[in-house]
């Protein structure tokens, strides 16, 4: 259930989220024509906001969507919303759509993009599940091919991710891994995946369909600073089954350990490496959001 205290910013106006509306002719609503970012904030300060805003701008550029506001204007709006929100920690949904147009997928008549910013709380898993680890499956639904839609574009087209998540729901699992056309693991439905094998931290490359996650990059940097070898390489379900440990990362997920994959219990959940990286991640949040 959505938080009744959630706030929304639509085209320069702040209103309670339950009173927000956009046109039924908006092509973001009609066809998923748009881009978005999810951003965490801690202590009323957005984490890695600059990286998120630049990824948003890159996604918009990639789909030939003109940004209606400068990045500095978006930052100002986000900060304003955060300070109006009742809570010092939360989640920001930043969406830019092609805007209102005629029926039909042709975006030619969409002359003014729509900007929506939502501030709310978000807890993807409860504390008990986060401590014990999640149970995940491998979904039959595949990631879109790289030559069909580049995974670096964070677009509103999430139907295949949703269908994979439905598979997890039907199986009684917490999350699902998605494979690409070659049978390599790309990512989870809403998170990146890491495995630990022989003391090495391994994650799929973006060329296998993984989103270039902000949290993913943060964890890779922190691991290298801690002397942990990090490798981007293709992995198959076999590699996860036989890994020492596995965990998921994402802006919404933060860090979540994995207890089992397709009914196979992993050796460690959470592992010592996970605890180290989780501690370093929390320290980084404190460093960047309380200074």
Distance CA 158, CA 179 (A): 15
Domains delineated in the chain: 7-120 (3.30.470.10), 127-289 (3.20.10.10)
pLDDT at residue number 1:
46
The H or E element that residue 169 is part of is: helix 159-170
pLDDT at residue number 2:
53
* Predicted model pTM: 0.93
DSSP β-bridge partners for residue 256: 248
Taking a C-beta distance cutoff of 8 angstroms, is the pair 174, 125 a contact? yes
For residue 186, count other CB atoms closer than 10 A to its CB. 27
pLDDT at residue number 3:
55
Distances (CA, A) of 148 to 152, 184, 205: 12, 17, 17
Weakly modelled stretches of the chain, pLDDT under 70: 1-4, 291
pLDDT at residue number 4:
62
For residue 3, count other CB atoms closer than 10 A to its CB. 17
pLDDT, one tens digit per residue, over 121-134 is: 988 888 898 899 99
Distance CA 27, CA 24 (A): 8
Helix (H/G/I), strand (E/B), else coil: 145: coil
254-261 and 134-138: which strand pairing? parallel
Q: Say how many residues make up the chain.
A: 291
For residue 146, count other CB atoms closer than 10 A to its CB. 16
């Amino acid at each position: 259930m959505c938080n009744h205290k959630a706030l929304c910013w639509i085209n320069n106006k702040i209103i309670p989220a339950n009173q927000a509306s956009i046109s039924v002719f908006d092509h973001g609503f009609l066809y998923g024509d748009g881009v978005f970012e999810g951003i965490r904030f801690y202590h009323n300060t957005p984490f890695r906001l600059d990286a998120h805003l630049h990824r948003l701008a890159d996604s918009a550029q990639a789909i030939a969507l003109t940004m209606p506001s400068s990045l500095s204007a978006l930052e100002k709006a986000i900060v304003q919303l955060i300070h109006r929100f009742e809570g010092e920690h939360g989640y920001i949904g930043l969406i830019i759509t092609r805007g209102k147009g005629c029926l039909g997928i042709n975006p030619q008549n969409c002359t003014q993009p729509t900007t929506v910013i939502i501030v709310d709380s978000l807890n993807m898993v409860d504390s008990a599940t986060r401590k014990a680890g999640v149970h995940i499956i491998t979904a039959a639904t595949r990631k879109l091919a790289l030559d069909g839609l580049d995974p670096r574009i964070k677009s509103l087209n999430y139907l295949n991710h949703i269908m994979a998540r439905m598979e997890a729901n039907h199986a009684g699992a917490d999350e699902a891994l998605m494979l690409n056309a070659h049978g390599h693991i790309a990512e989870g439905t809403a998170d990146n995946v890491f495995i630990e094998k022989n003391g090495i931290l391994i994650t799929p490359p973006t060329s296998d369909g993984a989103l270039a996650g902000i949290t993913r990059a943060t964890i890779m940097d922190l691991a290298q600073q801690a002397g942990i070898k990090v490798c981007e390489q293709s992995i198959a379900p076999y590699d996860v089954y036989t890994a020492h440990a596995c965990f998921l990362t994402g802006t919404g997920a933060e860090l979540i350990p994995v207890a089992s994959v397709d009914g196979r219990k992993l050796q460690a959940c959470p592992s010592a490496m996970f605890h180290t990286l989780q501690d370093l991640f929390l320290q980084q949040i404190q460093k960047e959001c309380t200074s």
